Every structure is written in C-alpha cells, then in structure tokens.
Amino acid sequence: MTTIAPVRFPNKDGLMLYGILHEPAAETRKDIGILLLSPGVKMRVAPHRLYNKWAEKFVQLGFTVFRFDFCGLGDAEGEIEEDFLADLYGSIQIGRYVEDTRSAMQWLSSACGLDRYILAGLCGGAITGLLTAKSDARVEGLLGLGIPVILDGSNLDKSKYLTEGQMDRLAGRYVRKLLNPVSWWQLLTFQSDYRVIWRIFKKKLNLNVDPALSDGEKACEQKDNTNPLFARAFFEMVSSGRRIIFIFSGSDRLDWEYEEKFVQWNKDKLKQYDAHFETAIIPDANHILSLPEWQEQMMDLSEHWLKKHF
C-alpha cells in the first residue's frame, strides 16, 4: 500500500521547508528516490498539478518520491528579496536552490534510508537538479523538462539573443499579422516590440551590427546570454557515467536555445557521451504541457527512461 504524508525539515540556514512524501508499497520499493524540484515560483505542485501526477506515476514504479517547496516559496520559510521575476529566475539558473535540494536529500537519507537519487523537474527545477548533480555524487540521474541554458535578468534585452528557431517562428507570425488591421493599429500606436522586429529584419537581410552604435553598444550587441554553468555541470555529470534525459516541448523556445546554444557548440564533445544522455521532443507542446495528451507523452518517456536505467 502506498502512503502520502506531509513533512517538514530544515535547510542549511535553519529555515523550515515543507513537502509531501510519497512512499510505495514495501514489496515494490526501490533503493533509489526521486526528488521533484519546484519549477520557478510554481512550487511543489507545478502547473496543472503536474508534479502530483508525476509522483503518482513514479510511486507505481516503486520509487520513493519527495516534492517540496524551496526557501521563500509556497509553505516554506524565508523571503524572496528580488523585485522582478526575471531576477529570481536568473538566481535559480546559477544555483539559488542547490543547497535546499541537498538538504532534502539529507532528510530523505535519515528518514527513508536512501543514499541514491534521481532529480527531476520542469524548467527551474531541471537546472537546479543539474547544478546539484555536478557536485553531489548521490545524484545518479537527471530527468529535466524544458531545461533553460540561458541566464535571465531584468536588465537583459532578450531581443538580442533570439535563436534562429525563435526568429523564424516570430517572422512567420509577424507576416500573418500584416493582414490583420488590429495588428497595424498596435504597430502604429507603439504597442509592438520594435527591438524584436528590427532584429528579425536585420537577420533576414544579413545586416551586420548597426555602424551607428558605440563600441560599448557593439560589444553588448555581440554578447551571448548562455549560462556558463550549464555545460560544465552537464559534462561533469555524464563524464562520471551518470544518466540524463532532457524532454523538450516542440513549441517552446527552450528547445531552440538548447540546440543552438549548447548542442551546436559542443557537437564533437557530445559524441563521446551518447550512451549517457538522451533528448526527446513532444511535438507542438507548450512549455508547461497544458494538454493531457502532452502530459501522457511526457509520462511515457519518463517511464521508459526510468525502466531502462533504474
């Protein structure tokens, strides 16, 4: 018989974090646990109660599952000091919740006798899992949904870092809007994002950086927003023989960013580790897997990977 129980435990700063522990029947219990790491500000439930459904699936497979709130989110103690959501996301992308994840593993070790873990999560939860795994050998696998490879921040102009996939999609959207009178009104009344439109226009016409820009502006124009911690953590994990699967949504910019800012830059090196990582795409799905059929595809991919390796 499976059991579900609320629990609380302290992080390294003594703040209490709250979560839900899902335990399988004793006769089916595996010796490895799965932590579901909160995605951004969506906490331990995730959009559309995705983590509740994920936990139910994993428990049926014999895994002990723990989903919890990070410091400052949900029921957990602590404060979020950032004024802008983009800055909170940026801090998550460089490891804000790594220590909370390690605290959760420590609690599970004491409460359930586990010392092997798979970390899983959507978006911010996925990058938190990867950064945790880099320095913690207890993590044997990472199941990441829509993992970001870039850095966010309120001071970043995202229009500067559009991928080819994003520009192609946006260009098609703007062409269709030209036939809509409402879109013309938005354009003429300064409701459109002119930075994005101009950058798409420049790219399609193969124009170089605007010569009128200052040297400092040109340097900023050419700067990339890729997270420098991503590749290091990824290769640290796979080079030690641990397993990774990244599942992306076909309509999500994070898929294009992963392909253009990580895969294309590391093609030769990635070939060495084909046996230790894999990627999958759910066609047409959005970032949060809103539709039941997208969630089912994700569940099937997750189950197949878990059965194959664990």
Buried b (16+ CB within 10 A) or exposed e, 144-167: bbbbbbbbbbeebebbebbbeebb
Q: Are 145 and 289 in contact (CB under 8 A)?
A: yes
Out of 15-24, 67-76, 216-225, 279-288, least confident range: 216-225
Distance of CA 151 to the CA centre of its chain: 12
Q: What is the pLDDT of residue 115?
A: 95
Greater pLDDT, 40 or 299 = 299
Per-residue pLDDT tens over the stretch 247-263: 999 999 999 999 999 99
Domain residue ranges in the chain: 3-153+225-309, 158-222
CB-hemisphere CA count at 13 Å for 48?
15
Query: Around Cβ 103, how many Cβ atoms within 10 Å?
Result: 20
Average of pLDDT values for 153-168?
58
The angle at the Cα of 295, spanning 294 to 297, to the nearest 5 degrees, equals 65
Average of pLDDT values for 6-12?
96
Q: What is the pLDDT of residue 210?
A: 43
* Tokens found for residue 115: 């010392």
Give counts: helices (H), strands (E), the chain.
12, 8
Residue 170 has pLDDT above 80, yes or no: no
Q: Are 23 and 112 in contact (CB under 8 A)?
A: yes
Greater pLDDT, 63 or 184 = 63
Q: What is the pLDDT of residue 239?
A: 96
Position 40 confidence tier, pLDDT thresholds 50, 70, 90: confident
Position 204 confidence tier, pLDDT thresholds 50, 70, 90: low
Q: What is the pLDDT of residue 202?
A: 54
Q: Mapping DSSP to helix (H, G, I), strand (E, B) and coil, where does residue 288 land? A: coil
- On average, the pLDDT of the chain sits at 85
Q: What is the pLDDT of residue 137?
A: 95
Average of pLDDT values for 96-113?
96
Q: Enter the DSSP assignment of 98.
A: H
For the chain, percent of residues with pLDDT exceeding 90? 74
The angle at the Cα of 253, spanning 252 to 259, to the nearest 5 degrees, equals 110
Task: Name the E strands within the chain.
Answer: 3-10, 16-23, 33-37, 64-68, 117-122, 139-145, 243-249, 277-282
Average of pLDDT values for 231-237?
97
Residue 223 has pLDDT above 60, yes or no: no
Beta-carbon contacts of 265 under 8 Å, excluding residues fewer than 6 positions away, are 231
When the candidates are 1.10.10.10, 3.40.50.300, 3.30.365.10, 3.40.50.1820, the CATH number that belongs to 3-153+225-309 is 3.40.50.1820
Residue 195 has pLDDT above 60, yes or no: no
DSSP letters spanning 154-179 = TT--GGGG--HHHHHHHHHHHHHHTT
Antiparallel, parallel or unpaired: β 33-37 and 117-122: parallel
What φ, ψ does residue 117 adopt, rounded to 5°? -140, 150
Q: What is the pLDDT of residue 198?
A: 46
Residue 201 has pLDDT above 70, yes or no: no
Q: What is the pLDDT of residue 171?
A: 57
Average of pLDDT values for 129-139?
96
The angle at the Cα of 101, spanning 17 to 137, to the nearest 5 degrees, equals 150
Per-residue pLDDT tens over the stretch 12-36: 999 999 999 999 999 999 999 999 9
The overall pTM is greater than 0.75: yes
